[in-house]
Amino acid sequence: MKPMRHLIPVFCLLFGAMTLKEGGTVLFVDGADRQAAGNYVPWVLWFNFLTGFAFIAAGLGMWRKKKWVTRLTPLMAAMSVVVLISFLLWVATGGSHETRTLVAMPLRTVIWLGLAFWSVRFKGRIVR
**Cα distance between residue 104 and residue 88, in whole Å:** 12
Measured CA to CA, the distance from residue 48 to residue 51 in angstroms comes to: 5
Rg value, the chain, Cα: 16
In 3-state terms the chain splits into helix, strand, coil percentages (rounded to 5) of: 85, 0, 15
What is the model's pLDDT at position 1? 47
pLDDT digits (tens, 9 = 90+) for 43-73: 999 999 999 999 999 999 999 989 899 999 9
